[in-house]
Each structure stands twice: as structure tokens, then as C-alpha cells.
Structure 1
Amino acid sequence: MIPDVGGHALLYLLLLLLPVSALIARRVPILRVLFSLASWAIIAGLLLLVVSQREQFDPYIQRVARLLKLEDQNVVGKETRIRMAPDGHFWARVTLDGVSRRMLVDSGATVTALSTRTAQAAALDVRESLIPMVLNTANGQINAQTATVRELRLGDIAARDLGVVVSPAFGDTDVLGMNFLSKLKSWRVEGNTLILEPHYHQDFT
């Protein structure tokens, strides 16, 4: 896949100018100082850029995010806090039966929905329901199967025996729906942060 560099054209231009600037800076002392400052600024900018786009590089960049305290998901006391992503949605880092996934939190979804790929990775027992499962989505009606996640973990929250629907129509998107949110003591949005509070604290360490 070819990366989209349009939004960072200025940064790439600066990187191209670095070799030329270095040659000039060797001859002019004041420019040497300015070049050194500019180099550090560019390095810092690159680091912040990579960390801000870390979902493309996970799990390797997550450790850097923790060290810089730039994580978008943190446990604070009894609460799990998730910052809004640049796309305007809340994405949670979740473990389903031992499989890590990045899931969209959607209070408009009645039930948690998983892609076929995720269901297979978690070795879920996917079955046809006795009554054909037909879901109404933004793209029309789709057929789905059902399964049960033995344990879903998000921060220090654990939801057990969580019913889910599975369909290839979901593509690679996994969604946390109201049947998960309703298991919490409370959930709310404050500013750009989604705050989830379980009924009781669980320590998985």
C-alpha cells in the first residue's frame, strides 16, 4: 500500500533540504547552530508523527507511546479512559479470548459485532441461530451468525460470556456495542474522552 504523504509534504521537504543545509552550515558558524536546532526539531516532529499514527505500527510503537505518556487509552483509578481518535471515533484496545484487537466503540450498535477474521483468530464457535439473523446496517440488510466470547478485556474491565454477531460483511472492522456498555456501572463522554467505569476493579497483572 502506498502511504499518503499529502498531509506531511512540508515535513518531507525539510528532510530533503537537510543535506544541503548541512553543507552550508559547515561554512557559516551561526548557521551551524540554527541547523542543529532545526535538526532536533525535525527529529521531534518525526517522533510525534509516528506515535500519533501508531495504530499502523502496533504493537511496536505502543511502548514508545507509554514512555511519552501519549497513550490514547489509560486506566485511571477505577476508570478506563479513551481519547477520541483523529477520525472522531473512540477506538478501544481489547483482548477477546486472548486475541488483541482495536475495536470501534459504538453506542448506536445494539450488539457487539466481529469480523470473520477476528472470530476465527479467537477460535469462536460461530453458529447459525435458530431464527435467521438479519441486521439492518447503513449499507442495508446483512446476514450474520452468532457466537459467545468467553472473556473480553478492556483496560481493567472484563466482560464474560458476551454475545456477538459475526459476518464477513463487517470487513475488518470490529465494533463494541451496547450489550458490552450495558455491563458497566457507567460510561460517559467528557470533552474528547470516553470514560468507562466497571462495577468493580479487576487487576489482571
Structure 2
Amino acid sequence: MSLGELGVLLSEQPLLALTIVAILLGAASPMLAMSRPRLGAGMRNAAYLGLTAALLLTVAQLAGHNGRSEAALWLDRTRPAEIVGSETVITMRADGHFWVEAQLNGEAVEFLVDTGATYTGISQHTAQRAGIAPDPGDAGVILDTANGPIVARMATAGTLRLGGIEAHELPIAIGPDNEVETNVIGMNLLSRLGAWRVEGNRMILTPKAA
């Protein structure tokens, strides 16, 4: 292999390049330590750091390829929706669900898009953070959840925005903190759209025409 081919290979494989450099520094540091102790020690420390970084990056890369691993789920954080033309696109996370960071009354809130949920629902803690209180005279409503039926209080969100979608005066269910672990976007929001569909690992939301 020529030097040019080696250079191309290392440029395409940064982890390999980092590992090789770290190994060379580690091998050269003892020879320099005798005549230049500080330089030798610095090279040795740089080699240790390089090898550690290469190991951590390799683990992260492997976790990314294994989409169901706990590491992959931890690394795959919830992001805001993407706007593509007139459509809003939510990308599936590693757990196989559609999560999105939305703005609820101006507060960043993580939501699971749940097409099986009748109402958009939030926890009491999220409601307090977004300045949402139960509607006057609300007597509560029983909702079926994954953990069984709960009694939720109905409220009204001023605005809920995700990507290019913005809902005003949206009915929203507030569940007890000890029974609601996940904020969900339900069908009462999706039904306000012009259309929504799932294509592969993307959920595509189309606003209703003005």
C-alpha cells in the first residue's frame, strides 16, 4: 500500500487513525523520556487519552448500530420536529416510537405521539411548568392508559407548537404525577391536521389548508 492509499484509508477511518497515532505516541514516549522527561511524559499521557477516546467512540458507534441497546436509547435523545416544505417530520427514535420536543405555552416539553390516545395529556408537573390549570368547573374525566384507568383534569393549552404545526386553545388532560410518566400528543391534535401519515421511520404531519 502506498503512502497516498494509506492517507486515504486513515482519512476515511478516523477512529483507526486516532488509535494508530495513540499507539505511536505510546511507543515513542519511553525513548524520549530518558533525554526529555517532560516531553516523554506528555506523549505518554496523550497516548492514554487517545486510546481512551478511541475506545469510547467505538462503544458509542457500536451502540448506535444496535438501535435497541440501552446505550443507543440513551444517546438517541428527543429532538424538535423538522420542517420540510409545508410538512412537519418527526423521526422515529431507537425505541420504535415517535417522540418530539414541542413548545407548550412556550415551554419545551418532550411528547410521545400516541395515535391511540383520545386526548393530548400531560403530567401535573408539566402543567405547572407551562402555566396550565384545570378548566373552571371541571369534574375530571376517566382515561384508559397503559397503566390502567386514571382520573384526569381537563384544561386548555394556549398554544402547542411542533415544527410548522401550531394548535391554539387545545383541550388537554392533566394526570397525576404518580400515574403519568409520559406526556402524549393524542388524536385531538392530529385530527386538526389536514393529514398525517407514517412512511418508514418518519411521521409526516400536514397542516390544514388555510
Structure 1 length-normalised TM: 0.66
Q: Which SS does the other structure have where 1:89 is aligned? A: coil
Equivalent residue for 1:92, pick from 87, 95, 100? 100
Q: Once structures 1 and 2 are overlaid, which stretch shifts more, 181-190 or 18-27?
A: 18-27
Matched, 1:197 2:200: no
Matched, 1:171 2:183: no
Q: Once structures 1 and 2 are overlaid, which stretch shifts more, 116-125 or 40-49?
A: 40-49
Deviation at 1:173, TM superposition (A): 1.3
Q: Which has the larger Rg?
A: 2
Give the corresponding residue for 2:193.
184
The count of corresponding residues between Structure 1 and Structure 2 is 165
Distance across 2 between alignment mates of 1:47 and 1:149 = 39
Tell me, yes or no, if the aligned pair for 2:80 and 2:163 is still in contact at 8 Å: no
* Code of the aligned partner of 1:196: L
Structure 2 length-normalised TM: 0.65
The 5 A counterparts of 1:95-114 are: 95-114=103-122
Give the corresponding residue for 1:7.
none
Tell me, yes or no, if the aligned pair for 1:129 and 1:145 is still in contact at 8 Å: no
Distance across 1 between alignment mates of 2:81 and 2:28 = 43
Q: Which SS does the other structure have where 2:131 is aligned? A: coil
Q: Relative contact order: is structure 1 or structure 2 higher (C-alpha 8 Å, sep ≥ 6)?
A: 1
Q: Which SS does the other structure have where 1:55 is aligned? A: coil
* CA 86–21 in structure 1, closer or farther in 2 if over 3 Å, else same: farther
5+ residue gaps, structure 2, are 1-20, 32-46, 65-70
Distance across 2 between alignment mates of 1:160 and 1:184 = 12
The 5 A counterparts of 1:109-120 are: 109-120=117-128
Give the corresponding residue for 1:146.
154
Tell me, yes or no, if the aligned pair for 1:119 and 1:126 is still in contact at 8 Å: no
Matched, 1:78 2:86: yes
Give the corresponding residue for 1:11.
none
Deviation at 1:170, TM superposition (A): 4.3
Distance across 2 between alignment mates of 1:38 and 1:97 = 46
Equivalent residue for 1:123, pick from 116, 123, 131? 131
Give the corresponding residue for 2:6.
none
* CA 200–93 in structure 1, closer or farther in 2 if over 3 Å, else same: farther
Distance across 2 between alignment mates of 1:45 and 1:84 = 24
| Larger helix proportion of the pair | 2
* CA 160–26 in structure 1, closer or farther in 2 if over 3 Å, else same: same
5+ residue gaps, structure 1, are 1-17, 29-34, 57-70
The CA RMSD measured in Å over matched residues stands at: 3.8
Deviation at 1:172, TM superposition (A): 3.7
Distance across 1 between alignment mates of 2:28 and 2:60 = 24
